[in-house]
Structure 1
Amino acid sequence: METAPLRVAVVGAGPAGIYAADTLIKSVAGAAVDLFEKLPAPFGLVRYGVAPDHPRIKQIVHALHRVLDHPNVRLFGNVHYGTDVALADLREHYDAVVFATGCERDRDLDVPGVELPGSHGAAEFVRWYDGHPDVGREWTLDARSVAVIGAGNVALDVARVLAKSAGDMLGTEIPDAVHRGLVANPATDVHVFARRGLAQARFSPMELRELDHVPGLEVIVDPEDMEFDAVSETEARGDKHVGMVVKILQEWALRDRRGDPRRVHLHFLTRPDRVLGTDRVEGLRVERTAYTGDGSVRGTGVFTEYPVGAVYRAVGYTGSHLAELPFDHERGVLPHVAGRVRDIDGQELPGVYAVGWIKRGPVGLIGHTKGCASETVRSLLADVPGLRRAPRRSPDAMPQLLDRRGIDYTSWDGWLALDKHERGLGEARGRERIKVVPRGDMVDISRAGLSTAFPA
């Protein structure tokens, strides 16, 4: 008796979920993959986590587009796992379920005063300037001096957007409300604080260089922060990218000041000790750190206070607990072995898998996700002979279920309609695209293309 073609549900239509779908349809003849995305539009962090003035990074959408264009791949947008569909629903309709929900929440920073008004998580700010439909359209930008805590690309993005002229952002896809907020932004000095040294910074060389090419913006590095220990020297020599970052920062520390009207100050070997203020942020107290000889740092008891009016925490993202699934709260991921999700007793959940940041944590660039997806799909395919096959296998069954529940789901055709609409808005203003922000508007525009997506 011939086995029915493999049917897989992927929860999350960002790069990780789409790469998993691509690997599946290329590995198994006739395999069908349905992606479930809580937002009305696909692409995850590429659309809502990459700064709008980084169009080169957004070019990855073209590769993801080709996957979603495949006839064996379908998109169900505006569908919330745990609310609109449960694990039991997916197991009834699919042979396996792959979770690719990513890490969207800010990791906590345990310092006094972090709860004061004017203290923000970077994730929320990024979602604001990227036009995320679930974030309010107003953001208070009223501080001339701002602190950003973190030493990764998100910290650089936040610092650059805060320090950049609003006019320089107007050519991007930012919504009008974001542009109005940036026009009102009075910031002239943005201080970025890294707990460890130059060699431990997690900036990419390209992002770092781009920061220095922003018109009217000067990047300042204190020569006193150029300290190294043996571990740092080894890291700089042994990793090409680390060496490039160190070289760039050293050059900036030694050059003459340019006198530009806006400045980003990169501070190293400095950790936050307390956010200062009574009713709102009034400053940040930091402690100088020193190497311990093993790649770590310790406090020195030397403190400095910076009079800043806002603080942004870019200390990393973490995942969210998913309904009916185990969760590693310390690491913010689904517990797994090679992508196979395991419960708290270490037992595998048959037919349930993880991929992307919800699997490995918020590490690595988008390109690293391909290898992660390949590992998970290898595990899934090795398990196929023993998987319980879904009893409801008709392609029409899932859209019919969503219709019965009154879910206004969107489709790939719906995304194409929304994409065309956004490009039209941009073309009328001499821009590539202007994002539609309200969820209801996104759904209404997308639903216009639904009739051809899932024929009855």
Structure 2
Amino acid sequence: MPRPLRVAIVGSGPAGIYAADALLKSEVAAEPGVSIDIFERMPAPFGLIRYGVAPDHPRIKGIITALHQVLDKPQIRLFGNVDYGTDIGLDDLRAFYDGVIFATGATADRALSLPGIDLDGSYGAADFVSWYDGHPDVPRTWPLEAEKVAVLGVGNVALDVARVLAKTADELLPTEIPANVYEGLKANRAKEIHVFGRRGPAQAKFSPMELRELDHSPNIEVIVDPEDIDYDEGSITTRRGNKQADMVAKTLENWAIRDVGDRPHKLFLHFFESPVEVLGEDGKVVGLRTERTELDGTGNVKGTGTFNTWDVGAVYRAVGYLSDKLPKLPWDIDSGTVPDEGGRVVQESGEHLQSTYVTGWIRRGPIGLIGHTKGDANETVKNLLEDYAGGRLHTPAAPDPEAVDAFLAERDIRFTTWDGWYKLDAAEKALGEPEGRERVKIVEREDMLRASGA
């Protein structure tokens, strides 16, 4: 009887779990069967759902429920706290598996080339998100001394950063934030948050629901300048063809015509302001310089030669995430992705790297919503299965699942399991129970490993 198809997935975020789900739903899962091992460098699964979504977004975190059901399947094993490139390499994986799918996502901040961007008080949004989400590999404290703060970017991450900065610590206390984050936010001095976009309302990348949620806080007054509500022919075309863009524009229009209220924290959404320099004194941020832009008829903008200076003491850039280069895989330095064709990794020679695949943000860059990764995973898995049916996958030397456990044991690698996640999950919920909270995140890696029974 033929053995099951053995597949390794590197990364346990939505992209990786969706790929596992697609494998389990395939005809191959029935005969001869599939056996899937997921490797995750963090002690806990779920990737950016756990470490990249703002804590006051339980609706998005609810996706974990669906992902949980996939990881509960007996054909899947989880190896957490195992770092690709350090603990296990591509040659090792090829020894154990017929195919390898990389779904490592994107967690670093994309660079922004501006004078002054490296000043003290200039931060990447991804680093701040990792801090307030209790990532074990970042510092436990965050400097929050600035009373006026700039956020560069008009996507959902920019909204998350602005909202967390503008809310009070007590507003966020009912969420899963750990104690160090609550104490840090209690010391936050920010009273004015300024979000900057170089184009207009029709080009903003906010999702309508995320945008509207800004206005739900009793402490945040959202302010839009009526002069920033402007559309050209390209903008009108965008609104007509994109329901979400139209809803965002309507929300911004409504905010622009209303009277400014008396909520204590002000959150300004600025459009047609292109950042040109972060201003500093004695090595620290003291302001931001922008150039006023105007629409050119196509939905794009051009500079007007008019400049504005904004009195801010900190700048957060939320201009996109960037994936880490993966050892032994080809790399497109411009896009920050692994070159591929339909999920098949493509080498510099133009040939496919046998039995090696990518899905999610490491494949197409950090664009789209979480749900978009499902179609991406389906395509990658479809091509993997085509290669399997066509005899194009290599034959692993040690396909027995126990060989992986032996490999990790020989190298003294402490790893967590799916059963370990249940233990960690229970420990976090127990921490939250006395305070009437769903959970309190355990932050330190060693504490996570101990709670997981690694």
| 1:420 partner amino acid | A
Please say if residues 191 and 265 of structure 2, whose CA atoms lie closer than 8 Å, have aligned partners that are also in contact: yes
| 2:92 partner amino acid | D
1:223 and 1:174 map into 2 onto residues whose CA distance is 36
The answer to whether 1:127 aligns with 2:130 is yes
Picking from 322, 335, 339, the partner of 1:335 is 339
SS of 2:126 mapped into structure 1? helix
Picking from 230, 233, 255, the partner of 1:230 is 233
Picking from 366, 383, 386, the partner of 1:382 is 386
Residue aligning to 1:321: 325
The answer to whether 1:177 aligns with 2:180 is yes
Residue aligning to 1:266: 269
Q: CA deviation at 1:347?
A: 1.4
SS of 1:13 mapped into structure 2? coil
Instruction: Please show how residues 355-366 of structure 1 align to structure 2 within 5 Å.
Output: 355-366=359-370
The answer to whether 1:212 aligns with 2:215 is yes
1:362 and 1:15 map into 2 onto residues whose CA distance is 13
Q: CA deviation at 1:259?
A: 1.9
Residue aligning to 2:399: 393
The answer to whether 1:402 aligns with 2:401 is no
Give the paired residue count.
447
Residue aligning to 1:4: 3
Please say if residues 155 and 205 of structure 2, whose CA atoms lie closer than 8 Å, have aligned partners that are also in contact: yes
1:96 and 1:201 map into 2 onto residues whose CA distance is 39
Could you list the per-position Cα deviations for residues 126-182 of structure 1 after superposition, in whole angstroms to 9, with x for gaps in the alignment? 000000000110101001100000010000000000000111000000010000110
Q: CA deviation at 1:4?
A: 2.2
The answer to whether 1:446 aligns with 2:449 is no
Residue aligning to 1:14: 13
> What's the TM-score, normalizing by structure 2?
0.97
2:89 and 2:367 map into 1 onto residues whose CA distance is 28
Residue aligning to 2:65: 62
Residue aligning to 1:89: 92
Residue aligning to 1:244: 247
Instruction: Please show how residues 99-178 of structure 1 align to structure 2 within 5 Å.
Output: 99-178=102-181
1:271 and 1:23 map into 2 onto residues whose CA distance is 42
Could you list the per-position Cα deviations for residues 161-211 of structure 1 after superposition, in whole angstroms to 9, with x for gaps in the alignment? 000011100000001000011000011100000011111100000001110
Picking from 184, 187, 202, the partner of 2:190 is 187
Please say if residues 278 and 289 of structure 2, whose CA atoms lie closer than 8 Å, have aligned partners that are also in contact: yes
2:269 and 2:350 map into 1 onto residues whose CA distance is 43
SS of 2:106 mapped into structure 1? coil
2:303 and 2:336 map into 1 onto residues whose CA distance is 27
Could you list the per-position Cα deviations for residues 216-272 of structure 1 after superposition, in whole angstroms to 9, with x for gaps in the alignment? 211000000011110001101111111100000000001111121101100011110
Could you list the per-position Cα deviations for residues 373-403 of structure 1 after superposition, in whole angstroms to 9, with x for gaps in the alignment? 0010011001002211212011111011001
Q: CA deviation at 1:444?
A: 1.3
1:341 and 1:292 map into 2 onto residues whose CA distance is 39
2:356 and 2:436 map into 1 onto residues whose CA distance is 46
1:19 and 1:310 map into 2 onto residues whose CA distance is 38
| 1:128 partner amino acid | W
Q: CA deviation at 1:344?
A: 1.8
1:280 and 1:431 map into 2 onto residues whose CA distance is 38
Q: CA deviation at 1:294?
A: 2.5
Residue aligning to 1:41: 44
The answer to whether 1:348 aligns with 2:347 is no
1:344 and 1:214 map into 2 onto residues whose CA distance is 51
Picking from 411, 425, 434, the partner of 1:419 is 425
Residue aligning to 1:452: none
SS of 1:277 mapped into structure 2? strand
Q: CA deviation at 1:320?
A: 1.1
2:292 and 2:352 map into 1 onto residues whose CA distance is 46
Q: Give ranges in structure 2 of 5+ residues lacking alignment.
A: none
1:339 and 1:392 map into 2 onto residues whose CA distance is 25
Please say if residues 235 and 298 of structure 2, whose CA atoms lie closer than 8 Å, have aligned partners that are also in contact: no
SS of 2:180 mapped into structure 1? helix
SS of 2:398 mapped into structure 1? coil
SS of 1:212 mapped into structure 2? helix
2:453 and 2:263 map into 1 onto residues whose CA distance is 48
Residue aligning to 1:453: none
1:429 and 1:390 map into 2 onto residues whose CA distance is 51
SS of 1:219 mapped into structure 2? strand
Picking from 303, 306, 309, the partner of 1:305 is 309
